[in-house]
Amino acid sequence: MSDQKITIEFNDKVVRQFLLASVVWGAVGMVVGTLVATQLNYWQANFNLPWLTFGRLRPLHTNAVIFAFVGNMMFAGIYYSTQRLVKARLASDFLSQLHFWGWQLIIVAAAITLPLGFSRGKEYAELIWPINIAVTSIWVVFAVNFFWTLAKRREPSLYVAIWFYIATIITVAMLYIVNHLSIPTSWLHSYPVFGGVQDALVQWWYGHNAVAFFLTTPILGVMYYFLPKAAERPVYSYRLSVIHFWSLVFVYIWAGPHHLLNSALPGWLQNLGMTFSLMLWAPSWGGMLNGLLTLRGAWDKLRTDPVLKFFAAAVTFYGMCTFEGPLLSIKSVNALGHYTDWIIGHVHGGTLGWNGFMAAGMIYWLLPRLWSRPLHSIPLANLHFWLGTVGILLYVGAMWTSGITQGVMLNATTEGGTLLAYPNFLDTLNTIRPMMLMRVIGGLLYLVGWFLLIYNLWKTIATALPVNGTIEVFADEGVTAHEDKITLVGTFLNPPVAFSILGVGFSCAWMFGGDFLSIAGMFGLLLCVVLAYTHFESRGKNWATWYDRLLVNSAPFTILVVIAVAVGGLVQIIPTVLVDRAANVEDRRQLPYTPLELAGRDIFVSEGCYNCHSQMIRTLVPDVLRYGDYSRLGESIYDHPFQWGSKRTGPDLARVGSKYPNIWHLRHMEDPRSISVGSNMPNYPWLFTTPTDVAALPGKIAVQRQLGVPYPAWTDAQIAADFNQQAKTIAEDLQTAGGVIAPDKQIVALIAYLQKLGKYETVAPLTSAAR
């Protein structure tokens, strides 16, 4: 090694930019969150304005806090820590700036399009297709910038934080691209390529793992850097890092179907979702343990250092949520908690507690290091911590109480189990009103805490100078020794990887094989476990040595991560997509929508009705008693996107068709409280004045045909004629009942759609469930 030393200046400018963006978008996202929480309890807060209604603003809230707040925070944390962990400046200043400004542009585009009602109708994937392409491109910019930096690293070995960053970049790209595959019908609208159960499965594979790989793994990486830094203590256990990293990234992907328990999703997928969620508990707690136990010997600092307070609380909330997650994935618990506020409480324990507090801790720690001034006020930061903590506890406590109360009421029966105890949905809604108010108060406290951070930040940096970190390195430092290089073959032909692949292979043979293959798979799995155990006991050193070598080989490491995160999705999604769609319907097949109904459906999606109404009657007695026969696979087979929903702030709509007369819907959409006393649903006056976009229908129907929906080869004129005929019939029926409305208005199309829900044709039942 030469003696010549050079000084590297880190690119901390982009870190400062992302940090400030995160703080600002965090405030925006939380303000919108407080507004939508208020709307749930006070419908007046929807202001009768389309762009301020809950259905449009809730996606804005979720997208803002996930992609804008946590996204920017993650980029700041990753860029700051990676440069130091690999002893190299970010590879490209240009890409860094492109990444930053591109991401902010995407956020602005989202903040404009979502309130305008441009939506794909899938949760956390609402953004329209041109923005999807921008997100993918900027993510590629991020990936190139990151991996290029790794390639130029002077520290050969990859620290555990970097493992988590690699997993994040790879997996988010995979999830995002697959779940956003769509065919455009215009610049602002598209239909997802998957429909019905396929769309449901892909959506929750994405939705669940967005939580995993956008809100969890990058933040775990951030924890592994900033927590030991702030505590000035060594990380508790390296081998725990290894085990919990690999088990976490492998198992997480399989757990998506737990969002669809007791639904029409085939049973084998539900069983995978539940069991893998339980297996996820220990890997998740591995991260919590390594965080909390790193603080051993530093607990006294918690009294004085707000940064460590935030970190310790964040990791505790992480542990709480990752226990609650598997608990909620148990089918019987899920039967109570799903569709209720319990889920909202669960999510906010994670976002407010884990993400928000990790962000706050990281920001308070970074401020004096990125600017030339110590933190303006430590007492204020402490106050922020306590306001935030009390806010979270109020919020989460309220949601637990509310969710369990409503779940119990909705499931309660009387008269020997033959009747619902609370047949009126509104009785259950109005019981939880006080809890909804408590949530607003908890959220407000948390928001006030965040504004304290902004004030503290402003006072710290307003008159300070930006500072860029530097490091002295030897000019030729960090070259991986030749004997440590791992070839492609060596990536796989080594005990840990070979045993893992064999184990997964045998497990799949056991789970999915026929009679003989199942037995062979079980036998092979047992043999594999025994051999692996014996080998590890006798030659465990080889495993450790090999892993040490893997850590200086970033490409083989990345390849193994790709495989680990891909397996679960491949096993679940490929069979579901390849299966003959028309046959995989159980005993019912939905009737395709008429042009008017399709237009109505697009309005339903655009208004975000799915944020409060499910279209999935579960295979549970209380659901069937309340909403009718349970939903079959075939009943949503042509739905692009699926609208099974994830929350019932209002009742399920799967069989609402023909339940009420047209005039009921008209009056209800005009003023829900005139029909349903105590309802918290917004009024939709603009649907009565806005004309339906008939001109777009031929293009939309053409795309639906491409997607396999059996529409006849209609001409544009036939579509318009069919549309007008049905609209006229409905308008006339409304007029008879005393409702005067022009047939071309959106409300007519929406009523047509609602009246179609639950209409099907009977088909011969399939004897063996398609696997």
DSSP track, 607-621? TTGGGT------SSH
The backbone torsions φ and ψ at residue 542, rounded to the nearest 5 degrees and listed phi first, read: -60, -40
Instruction: Kindly tell me which of 490 and 503 has the beta carbon lying closer to other proteins.
Output: 503
Instruction: Kindly tell me which of 228 and 345 has the beta carbon lying closer to other proteins.
Output: 228
Smallest distance, Å, CB 762 to other proteins? 15
Instruction: Kindly tell me which of 17 and 676 has the beta carbon lying closer to other proteins.
Output: 676
Binding mask 731-770 for other proteins (x = CB under 8 A): ------x---------------------------------
Among 92, 97, 136, 247, binds other proteins (CB under 8 A): 247
Smallest distance, Å, CB 663 to other proteins? 6
Our finding on whether 271 is near other proteins (CB under 8 A) is yes
Q: Cα(745)–Cα(739) distance, rounded to whole angstroms? A: 13
H/E/C letters for each residue in 54-107? HHHHHHHHHHHHHHHHHHHHHHHHHHHHHHHHCCCCCCCHHHHHHHHHHHHHHH
Smallest distance, Å, CB 383 to other proteins? 28
**Total of residues contacting other proteins (CB under 8 A):** 70
Our finding on whether 232 is near other proteins (CB under 8 A) is yes
Among 13, 154, 535, 659, binds other proteins (CB under 8 A): 659
Residues 134 to 163: which contact other proteins by CB under 8 A?
155, 157, 159-160
Residues 675 to 704: which contact other proteins by CB under 8 A?
675
List of residues 6+ apart from 638 with CB closer than 8 A: 195, 196, 590, 592, 593, 704, 708, 709, 710
Q: Which residues of 486-521 are buried (b: 16+ CB within 10 A; e: fewer)?
A: beeeebbebbbbebbebbbebbebbbeeeeeeeeeb
Among 173, 240, 378, 562, binds other proteins (CB under 8 A): 240
Q: How long a stretch of residues is the chain?
A: 771
Our finding on whether 660 is near other proteins (CB under 8 A) is yes
3-state secondary structure of 177: helix
Q: What separation in angstroms does the CA of 85 have from each of 64, 159, 239, 473, 633? A: 29, 7, 19, 13, 50
Residues 53 to 82: which contact other proteins by CB under 8 A?
81
Q: Cα(317)–Cα(323) distance, rounded to whole angstroms? A: 10
Smallest distance, Å, CB 226 to other proteins? 10
Instruction: Kindly tell me which of 244 and 346 has the beta carbon lying closer to other proteins.
Output: 244
Name the strand (E) or helix (H) holding 6: strand 5-9
Q: Residue 85 carries which side chain, given as an amino acid letter?
A: L
Name the strand (E) or helix (H) holding 471: strand 470-474
The region of 115-123, 607-615, 659-667, 682-690 touching other proteins under the rule CB under 8 A is 659-667
Which alpha helices (DSSP H) does 127-216 contain, by range?
129-151, 160-179, 196-214
Binding mask 565-594 for other proteins (x = CB under 8 A): ---------------------x--------
Our finding on whether 630 is near other proteins (CB under 8 A) is yes
Among 511, 598, 603, 730, binds other proteins (CB under 8 A): 511
Q: What separation in angstroms does the CA of 771 have from each of 341, 579, 635, 696? A: 33, 8, 19, 38
Instruction: Kindly tell me which of 518 and 690 has the beta carbon lying closer to other proteins.
Output: 518
Smallest distance, Å, CB 674 to other proteins? 10
Among 24, 109, 178, 279, binds other proteins (CB under 8 A): 279
Our finding on whether 518 is near other proteins (CB under 8 A) is yes
Q: Which residues of 321-358 are buried (b: 16+ CB within 10 A; e: fewer)?
A: bbebbbebbbeebbbbbbbbbbbbbbbbbbbbbbbbbb
Smallest distance, Å, CB 243 to other proteins? 7
Our finding on whether 362 is near other proteins (CB under 8 A) is no
Instruction: Kindly tell me which of 263 and 680 has the beta carbon lying closer to other proteins.
Output: 263
3-state secondary structure of 419: strand
Our finding on whether 270 is near other proteins (CB under 8 A) is yes
Closest CA to 125 of 184, 161, 177, 57: 177
Beta bridge partners of 419: 414
Smallest distance, Å, CB 353 to other proteins? 21
Instruction: Kindly tell me which of 440 and 617 has the beta carbon lying closer to other proteins.
Output: 617
Other beta carbons within 10 angstroms of residue 539's beta carbon come to: 12
The region of 145-153, 366-374, 419-427, 460-468 touching other proteins under the rule CB under 8 A is 419-427
Which is it for strands 470-474 and 5-9: parallel, antiparallel or unpaired? Answer: antiparallel
Q: Strand locations in 599-667, DSSP E? A: none
Our finding on whether 664 is near other proteins (CB under 8 A) is yes
Evaluated on CA atoms 213, 219, 224, 225, the torsion sign reads: positive
The region of 206-214, 284-292, 457-465, 563-571 touching other proteins under the rule CB under 8 A is 284-292
List of residues 6+ apart from 552 with CB closer than 8 A: 156, 157, 158, 480, 484
Our finding on whether 480 is near other proteins (CB under 8 A) is no
Binding mask 290-329 for other proteins (x = CB under 8 A): ---x--xxx---------------------------x---
Half-sphere exposure of 341 (CA within 13 A, CB side): 28
Smallest distance, Å, CB 521 to other proteins? 10
Binding site for other proteins (CB under 8 A): 81, 84-85, 87, 155, 157, 159-160, 225, 228-229, 232-241, 243, 247, 262, 267-268, 270-271, 274-276, 278-279, 281-283, 285-286, 289, 293, 296-298, 326, 415-420, 423-424, 510-511, 518, 586, 618-621, 624-625, 630, 659-661, 663-664, 675, 737
